Amino acid sequence: MLLSVIGIGLLIVLATLFGKETVKLVTDLTYIPVSGTLVVLSSMLSIRFRKTGNHGKAWLFFLAISVSWFIAETTWSALELVYHENPFPSIADVFYLAGYPFWFCFLFYYIKPVKNAVTKKMILGATAISVAMLIPSTYMAYDLDPKVSLLSNVIATSYPILDSIIFIPALIGIVLFFRGEVNFTWSLVCIGIVLQSVGDSGFQIATFTNTYYTGHPVDILFLWSYIFLSFGVYDHIRIFKKTKDEKSRSNLI
């Protein structure tokens, strides 16, 4: 995982040295296999759980997220590389935004089994941090001198707003991990959500200041988010297989 994170970061940085056209091509072509890997891993985990229990339902919603965002990434790349059109705003945003309801459902079912470990202090702390992160985004959306169209403003601002909601259980999940209440899988998923949230805020700032381009440093955060999410799913697949093998051996004794 560490090698993947470092490798992706170096790839985008090195591509930047060859100009915006090169980094655009490299970034777009990197998004597709990275997001596609998440779809494959999510499919494997969903098939193994088969909708059983809260976790089974949770991973089914997670699969929906990964499919929706894979379509979004593929659409963005196709618009930019094949049709040479501006991918923002575009139909790609429809698929990005469509993933958020599935995020809410995933987090609800996944955190439900450990809800008794969640304290009011955790909720208030996570909410305060989330609101603090949302204030700059809201302020920029109502700037008296916007540098983007109304549609671009609404879509770019909607990402941080929606992120602020899923950011709360993500922070709580990280706290629970350090307290030993949840497993490593949950921590990786939560870190992925945090990276996504920070990336969306950076995307909004870059869009409003007319400095965003595909291959912008915020794209590294989005790619890292996919990596953490993928390794989180992979770790859960590994745990699931290990548990199943142990049950099979116990039945033979």
Supply the DSSP string of 62-123, one letter for each residue: HHHHHHHHHHHHHHHHIIIIIS----SSSHHHHHHHHHHHHHHHHHHHHHGGGGGG--HHHH
Q: What is the pLDDT of residues 198-229, one digit of tens each?
A: 999 999 999 988 899 999 999 999 999 999 99
Q: What ranges do the domains of the chain cover?
A: 2-244
Q: In this predicted structure, what is the pLDDT of residue 242?
A: 60
All residues at 6 or more sequence positions from 114 whose CB lies less than 8 Å from its CB, including other chains: 176, 181, 182
- Is it the case that residue 253 has pLDDT exceeding 60? no
d(CA 235, CA 79): 34
pTM: 0.91
DSSP label at residue 210: T
Q: What is the pLDDT of residues 99-155, one digit of tens each?
A: 999 999 998 888 887 888 888 999 999 999 999 988 888 888 877 566 788 899 999
